[in-house]
């Protein structure tokens, strides 16, 4: 592939999603300057990979690169503990057992919609930031960035069933967090 | 998806809850959606869950400020991948092109230029530093792949710590740093590696304009460029294409 082709493809495939890329990087790193670094890094990777890009959902493709770049970046620059994939399943099970958000009879104890509706932006943001990373990413991709389940499965590299359970648990935790300290 | 201790009843509720979320997200097929609507009509707990999820989604959409990228980011990205340089910019594919191409490109105003170095003693000194390092037990005085270790090490030894970037993802891990002497002035050299090859990158304070030269001296490839008042000299027995790739990555990397 010639340089011109790569350039044109990059402009067409990657540039339109820069806003989404930045937003996701910002949620993962929690910092705007770091998000810029991550996006630049990710774009460089995307540019290099673009010759082999087979087509398909461009936004899911670039967000996958951004997410992977962000976690690599965190591991390198902040010595963040990045949970290995195997551990994620265990962590998720532990989280599920601990939170058991949908256990029988729990529905009635859950906060009502009116209580949730009082949350302001700062509280929402803090609650999202406090979510475990795999829950947070799924929620951000769905409820803030508007990806569908299949796209989220592609970006986070898990089956759709896992996306569904993560999303439900993420929302449940968020609801509890924003309603919880509002009594 | 569920914990090892989970009972069947819990599993069932859990699955129903997932369906409510999928329903709100418009991810259910019509048959399942109708079935769930009927259940929600008769089971208040499910209806309440639906209401909470809908409120939460509305809040996230309406109350959370949209995060928009900084205006400068688009340009930074374009620069990082080399889109701002006009025609004939060397992409990674084009890196494989010959030196003749690079010379041609220089005439069209890109960052290659075959010009004699300002002072012929500088490349000699840089090569000598590289050779001395290869013969020494260690090519670097501070051996670390962490740029946050290498950069501060220089701070105590020379007036200006060099720009240190991490290129391990690109296959150029940082090996360390050392101080070389060029024109009787101590200057920082970074050492990177590529497979078995070492690359010395020497930063010489300079005020000359930003041109790039590449040349071969005593069988070593050298590339020089000037940025922000510093002339960088990359020297290695690595092939010229990969050394050019290194130079390009170093220049493009965020510091």
Q: From the CA of A144, how many Å to the nearest CA of chain B? A: 7
Q: How confident is the model at residue B47 (pLDDT cuts 50, 70, 90)?
A: very high
Measured in whole angstroms, how far is the alpha carbon of residue B2 from the centre of its chain?
39
Give the tens place of pLDDT for each residue, B160-205. 778 899 898 888 999 888 888 887 788 899 999 988 888 999 998 8
Let me know: does A182 contact A119? Beta carbons within 8 Å: yes
Residue B211 CA, chain-centre distance (Å), reads 23
For chain A positions 52-71, those within 8 Å of chain B (CB to CB) are none
pLDDT at A4: 65
Q: What is the pLDDT of residues A123-159, one digit of tens each?
A: 999 999 999 999 999 999 999 999 999 999 999 999 9
Note the pLDDT of residue B42.
Answer: 95
A 107-136 residues with CB below 8 A of B?
Answer: 107-108, 110-113, 116-117, 119-121, 124-125
pLDDT at A110: 63
**Residue B229 dihedral angles phi and psi, to the nearest 5°:** 75, 10
Contact B189, B235 (CB under 8 A): no
Interface contact A7-B16, CB threshold 8 A = no
- Of the listed ranges A31-40, A73-82, B125-134, the least confidently predicted one is A73-82
Q: Do A161 and B1 touch (CB under 8 A)?
A: yes
pLDDT average, residue stretch A42-61: 87
All residues of chain B having their beta carbon less than 8 Å from the beta carbon of residue A19 are: 68-69
Which residues, in sequence order, are CB contacts of A122 under 8 Å at separation 6+?
none
- A52 Cβ contact list (under 8 Å, min separation 6): none
What confidence tens digit (pLDDT) does each residue in A6-40 have?
A: 788 888 888 889 999 999 999 999 999 999 999 99
**Residues near B39 by beta carbon (within 8 Å), at least 6 away in sequence:** B16, B46
Which DSSP letter does residue A111 get? Answer: P
A6 Cβ neighbours under 8 A, 6+ residues apart: A47, A50, A51, B91, B93
Residues of chain A found within 8 Å of residue B68, distances taken between Cβ atoms = 19, 22-23
Per-residue pLDDT averaged across B102-110, rounded? Answer: 44
Q: Is B60 helix (H, G, I), strand (E, B) or coil?
A: helix
Domains of chain A: 3-77 (1.10.1740.10), 85-180 (1.10.10.10)
Nearest to B241 by CA among B114, B90, B130: B90
SS3 content of chain A, % helix, strand, coil (to 5): 75, 0, 25
CB pair distance less than 8 Å for A94 and B25: no
- Tell me the two tokens of residue A154: 């592609």
Which of B15, B60, B145, B173 should we substitute to test contact with A (largest number of A Cβ atoms within 10 Å)? Answer: B60
Name the band, by pLDDT with cuts 50, 70 and 90, for residue A89.
low
Domain positions in chain B? 8-62, 96-252
Q: Token pair for residue A50?
A: 């673009």
Rounded to whole angstroms, how far apart are CA atoms A165 and B20? 11
Q: How far is CA B176 from CA B158, B165, B198, B226, B242, in A?
A: 16, 11, 11, 22, 20
| DSSP β-bridge partners for residue B143 | B176
Q: What is the mean pLDDT of residues A66-91?
A: 71
Flag whether residue A72 sits within 8 Å of chain B, measured between CB atoms: yes
Q: Which residues of chain B does A51 touch, with a Cβ-Cβ cutoff of 8 Å?
A: 93
Cα B112 from Cα B141, distance rounded (Å)? 31
Report residue B197 as tokens: 């090859």
For every residue of B80-96, DSSP letters joined together read HTT-SS-SS---TTGGG
What is the reported pTM?
0.56
Q: Which residues of A touch B57 (CB under 8 A)?
A: 143
Q: Whose CA is closest to A34, among A7, A64, A71?
A: A71
- Give the integer Cα–Cα distance in Å for B143 and B248: 24
- Do residue B16 and residue A144 have CB atoms under 8 angstroms apart? no
Q: How many other C-beta atoms are found inside a 10 Å radius of the C-beta of residue A31?
A: 13
Look up the ipTM and state it.
Answer: 0.82
**What's the CA angle centered on B113, arms B72 and B117, to 5 degrees?**
115
Contact B208, B234 (CB under 8 A): no
Question: What tokens does B152 get?
Answer: 């501060």
Please, what CATH class does the domain formed by B96-252 belong to?
A: alpha beta
Q: What is the DSSP letter of B136?
A: S
Nearest to A3 among B66, B91, B166 (CB): B91
């Amino acid at each position: 592939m010639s340089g011109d082709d790569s350039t044109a493809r990059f402009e067409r495939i990657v540039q339109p999603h820069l806003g989404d890329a930045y937003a996701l990087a910002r949620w993962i790193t929690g910092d705007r300057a770091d998000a810029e670094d991550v996006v630049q890094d990710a774009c460089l990777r995307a540019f290099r990979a673009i010759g082999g890009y087979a087509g398909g959902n461009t936004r899911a493709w670039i967000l996958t690169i951004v997410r992977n770049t962000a976690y690599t970046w965190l591991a390198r620059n902040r010595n963040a503990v990045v949970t290995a994939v195997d551990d994620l399943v265990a962590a998720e099970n532990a989280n599920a057992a601990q939170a058991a958000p949908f256990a029988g009879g729990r529905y009635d104890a859950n906060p009502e919609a009116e209580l949730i509706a009082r949350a302001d932006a700062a509280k929402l943001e803090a609650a999202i930031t406090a979510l475990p990373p795999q829950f947070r990413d799924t929620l951000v991709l769905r409820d803030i960035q508007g990806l569908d389940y299949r796209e989220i499965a592609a970006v986070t590299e898990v089956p759709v069933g896992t996306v569904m359970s993560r999303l439900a648990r993420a929302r449940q935790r968020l609801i509890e967090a924003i309603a919880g300290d509002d009594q | 998806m569920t914990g090892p201790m989970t009972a069947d009843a819990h599993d069932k509720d859990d699955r129903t809850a997932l369906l409510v979320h999928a329903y709100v997200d418009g991810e259910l097929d019509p048959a399942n959606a109708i079935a769930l609507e009927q259940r929600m009509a008769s089971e208040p707990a499910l209806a309440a869950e639906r209401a909470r999820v809908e409120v939460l989604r509305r809040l996230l959409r309406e109350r959370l400020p949209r995060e928009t990228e900084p205006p400068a980011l688009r340009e930074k990205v374009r620069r990082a991948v080399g889109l701002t340089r006009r025609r004939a910019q060397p992409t990674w594919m084009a890196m494989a092109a010959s030196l003749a191409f690079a010379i041609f490109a220089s005439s069209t105003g890109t960052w290659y230029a075959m010009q004699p170095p300002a002072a012929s003693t500088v490349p000699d000194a840089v090569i000598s530093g590289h050779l001395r390092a290869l013969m020494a037990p260690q090519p670097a005085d501070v051996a670390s792949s962490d740029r946050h270790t290498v950069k501060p090490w220089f701070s105590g030894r020379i007036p200006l710590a060099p720009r240190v970037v991490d290129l391990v993802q690109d296959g150029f891990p940082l090996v360390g740093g050392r101080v070389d002497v060029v024109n009787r002035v101590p200057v920082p050299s970074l050492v990177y590696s590529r497979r078995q090859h070492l690359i010395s990158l020497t930063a010489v304070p300079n005020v000359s304009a930003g041109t790039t030269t590449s040349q071969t001296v005593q069988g070593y490839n050298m590339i020089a460029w000037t940025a922000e008042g510093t002339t960088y000299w990359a020297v290695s027995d690595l092939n010229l294409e990969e050394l050019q790739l290194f130079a390009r990555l170093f220049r493009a990397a965020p510091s």
